[in-house]
Structure 1
Amino acid sequence: MKFIDVFAGCGGLSLGLLKAGFRGVAAIEKSPMAFETLRHNLVDGHRYQFEWPKWLPKQAMSCEDFLSTYSENIKDLRGKIDLMVGGPPCQGFSTAGRRNPADPRNKMAEQYLELVKIIRPTYLIIENVSGFNSKFSEKKRTDQENQKNFERSYADFICEELSTIGYSVSRGKLNCARFGVPQNRHRYLIICTLRNKEVNFFEELLGFSDQFKEQKKLPLLRPTSVQEAISDLETRDRKLVECVDSSMPGFLEAAYQAPQIYSPYLHLMREGFDAAPNSRRLPRHKPNTILQFSKIQRASEPGRSLSKKARDNLGLKKHAITVLTKSAPAPTITTLPDDIIHYSELRILTARETARIQSFPDWFEFVGKYTTGGKSRKLECPRYTQIGNAVPPLLGEAMGLLIKCLDHQISASYPAEGKLDEAT
């Protein structure tokens, strides 16, 4: 089965689908930094390679540019794509910030819909933040159209549009920890099909979680813990050496030594990879910062974001900061590395540790600068941002396996409606 990834980021969802046996055709991503990580690993990678069309340059581009520049070529894809996936940028309707229905970034979801109408893939997956289904709330509503926009969520708008063009829509919110990801990451999914309209794909996905974890040999009765994911990356009793993949000199990393015994989750992350993973650069915290981390650790409840009272007492302006609990999943990994403090070391996490918590395997190499600041934050997508924005590959793999399985069942029942996927 062939897929296209739109708003692909660094390739978390694409990686999951490739691992599930799908064949990648193209990936559209606006950020050059994120696209280069995706290209390096999945388009021209050693383990996976997209079946990239000759007419499409292997370079970053926006969905708008893709539509306007290659409209005739895109029309030729109609009926040839089994699955289209994408997580349109969510800043305009995220509950973490100001929710503005007029935010131009919301238009990206409409561009995604335009692509759907042209290509008409058999299946669709749209992944976004849980606030994607929250209705806008403002005191000032100036006209009737504005009133209509406020009365429904952006997810409602998209689902209504998809239903109008013939798709059967199922949707809902889930926690990625349900699929073995060591992180309480709540996401909103819209899963659509042009085929059997009696199947609720979202409900089927929820019911598939235990079978998926059993297949991956992950614990069924408890979530995967942070310690299971990153304990081999601790720096205690490790020699510190120069970081070899940092564009800025003077940074260190802990010499990597693989443990003799892997946890089931770590076994998935190592995946036969016998080298040290990249992106292990340690932060250069100032003494005052380390002292502040110590105070935060003493003032925090394990696994809970620091309370407002504690933040005020410590003079912190950050809205959220959490000390990890080693025996529990992490909170949602964000694009800001200083949102989370290590469970046993007075530091933020390395990029590789955040990648492990997102379920990226160690062979997957992140490229480009580690962080950025100032005005560049709106323009650049460094490693921490790439990782924080990604769909956990484990969730992507579970969705891919489920769609292949259900497609096989539907094809067996209605052979005239579609081809039988023998691999399933």
Structure 2
Amino acid sequence: MDLFAGCGGFGLGLEQAGFTPIFVNELNDDARGTYIANRKDRHEHFARGLDESKWLNEFSSSDARKMVSKKGYLDGLQKLFKSEFEISHGEIDLIVGGPPCQGFSGIGHRRSYAVEKKILPSNHLYKDMAKIIGHLRPRAFVFENVRGLLTGRWTEEGNTGEIWKDVKNAFAGIGEYTLAAELVYAKNYGVAQNRPRVILVGVRHDVIGKAATTKAEAEHIDGTGISSGFLPKGAPGKAPNIVDVLGDLVDPDYKNGGSTTEYPSKAACETQRWFRTSADGSRLAGKGSPVTEHDYSKHHPDVIKKFKAMIRGGDFEATKKFAQRVLPTEWGPTGPSITATSLPDDYVHFEQPRTLTVREWARLQGFPDWYEFKGKRTTGGLRRAGNPLEGIHFRELPKYTQIGNAVPVPMAKAIGEHLASLLRKGRK
């Protein structure tokens, strides 16, 4: 089960690791539409009875809170799993979820409004995830979130780390699960980003053969994810460079504000061949084959002039954009130093005076080129930020934001492969 699934980065990585998604929960229609659109042809249950205008489906939900508050919903869901997949209570292998993280993010100064974290409804959705896990009793679960969660405070006068403590207590309170947690970095799992993420793993005590973690013990699980064997160590230094990730998409004839609809060159390395392989693995897109989502933003001439100066490394008028910089073609000794967020203009292309296209942004997160995205290309202002001070919590999720919010696919695959191995051992 994929809770707070967004556009499906975590889910896709788990599928690549051998898992089959049976249910998706995501509040935003466009993000949920992206998730289902990329699975309905591969998993028949996602296509059944599908209303593509609203993405309605019995194997999906838009609201985690209604899942736990609506009487009989989770019991009905378990009956559905039994009838459709012959999965009895307690036999779901894995539930994963990354509740919305805007309230915990370390880039809070980029938000339009600052409010106490305690009053943001989305900051309490981890409790709903814990309730769903407690009711369905999967063999394992994974909670994922941003690094800022580790030091977050509910109020300005609160204690550093109090939110993370409450999160750990909520999952330890389920009972019968052994917990471990780790701050991991995407660069150690074959991703062209640094991207730190907090991962909390719970494995049912009868599966792992270890005592369940109590609330008192949950205080001390930080840094135990890898050492306890619940998470893979990764392979530092294996992240591809930017040229390997994006080089074959460089169109020498691109137009400012235009689009490239065909691959301008053939794949030049294994990384590019992977991105260009079809979903079923049978075809490799060659030069001249169709490519989607490769549309360019239309920049003002002065912006283009500045971008050219940035690429050359010369002087230019300082930008007001947060941390806007040119993508490096080579990593330093510690590996990737970038993190793709919801803002596509954080980075300038390494060779051309422009920001990145949706397809390039998706590659930074490890999405293959066959993956399609629903909704607007981009948006801004209240539509993206909302206004919590006035009770406006709805946020649009355009394509760039969907991608920026996702769990990198290769990291999700590595976690999935590791957990699959643990669960297989637990069946013996």
Name the TM-score class by shorter chain.
0.7 to 0.9
Contact 2:34 2:374 in 1 (8 A): yes
Task: Classify the secondary structure of the residue corresponding to 1:107.
Answer: helix
Shift of 1:367: 2.2
Taking structure 1 as reference, are residues 53 and 367 closer, same or farther at Cα in structure 2, changes over 3 Å only?
A: closer
Match of 2:307 among 293, 297, 305: 293
1:228 aligns with 2:244: yes
Contact 1:180 1:394 in 2 (8 A): yes
Task: Classify the secondary structure of the residue corresponding to 2:366.
Answer: coil
Match of 2:342 among 323, 332, 335: 335
Aligned to 1:173: 183
Shift of 1:317: 2.8
Aligned to 1:64: 65
Task: Classify the secondary structure of the residue corresponding to 1:202.
Answer: coil
* 1:208-241, Cα deviation, whole Å (9 max, x unpaired): 524xxxxxxxxx75421111001011122x365x
1:24-423 equivalent positions in 2, closer than 5 A: 24-42=21-39, 44-45=40-41, 47-49=42-44, 57=58, 61-69=62-70, 70-74=73-77, 76=79, 78-97=89-108, 100-102=116-118, 103-136=120-153, 141=157, 147=158, 150-164=159-173, 165-194=175-204, 195-196=207-208, 198=210, 201-203=225-227, 204=229, 207-210=232-235, 221-236=237-252, 238=253, 251-257=257-263, 259-271=265-277, 272-274=283-285, 275-297=289-311, 314-328=317-331, 329=336, 331-377=338-384, 378=386, 379-412=395-428
Report % sequence identity: 29
Task: Classify the secondary structure of the residue corresponding to 1:92.
Answer: coil
**Structure 2 unaligned blocks of 5 or more:** 50-55, 82-88, 109-113, 212-223, 278-282, 387-394
**Structure 1 unaligned blocks of 5 or more:** 142-146, 211-219, 241-249, 301-309, 413-424
Contact 1:26 1:53 in 2 (8 A): no
Cα distance in structure 1, aligned partners of 2:160 and 2:254: 57
Cα distance in structure 1, aligned partners of 2:405 and 2:327: 20
Shift of 1:179: 0.9
Contact 2:231 2:418 in 1 (8 A): no
* 1:249-270, Cα deviation, whole Å (9 max, x unpaired): x952124336445322212212
Contact 1:6 1:87 in 2 (8 A): yes
* 1:331-372, Cα deviation, whole Å (9 max, x unpaired): 111111111111111100001001011000111111221011
Contact 2:250 2:264 in 1 (8 A): no
Q: 1:325 is matched by which residue type in structure 2?
A: P
Cα distance in structure 2, aligned partners of 1:107 and 1:133: 15
Q: What RMSD, in angstroms, separates the aligned Cα atoms of the two structures? A: 2.8
TM-score in terms of structure 1 length:
0.79
Shift of 1:31: 0.4
Shift of 1:74: 3.6
Contact 1:330 1:357 in 2 (8 A): no
Cα distance in structure 1, aligned partners of 2:239 and 2:328: 13
Contact 2:117 2:154 in 1 (8 A): no
Contact 1:85 1:126 in 2 (8 A): yes
Task: Classify the secondary structure of the residue corresponding to 1:170.
Answer: strand
Taking structure 1 as reference, are residues 405 and 17 closer, same or farther at Cα in structure 2, changes over 3 Å only?
A: same
Aligned to 1:14: 11
* 1:120-159, Cα deviation, whole Å (9 max, x unpaired): 11101111111121142865x3xxxxx5xx3534332222
Cα distance in structure 1, aligned partners of 2:155 and 2:317: 33
TM-score in terms of structure 2 length:
0.78
Taking structure 1 as reference, are residues 208 and 73 closer, same or farther at Cα in structure 2, changes over 3 Å only?
A: same
Task: Classify the secondary structure of the residue corresponding to 2:180.
Answer: strand
Taking structure 1 as reference, are residues 285 and 320 closer, same or farther at Cα in structure 2, changes over 3 Å only?
A: same
Cα distance in structure 2, aligned partners of 1:169 and 1:207: 15
Task: Classify the secondary structure of the residue corresponding to 1:155.
Answer: helix
Cα distance in structure 2, aligned partners of 1:91 and 1:135: 12
Cα distance in structure 1, aligned partners of 2:304 and 2:257: 17
**Aligned length, in residue pairs:** 369
Cα distance in structure 1, aligned partners of 2:14 and 2:413: 5
Contact 2:258 2:295 in 1 (8 A): yes
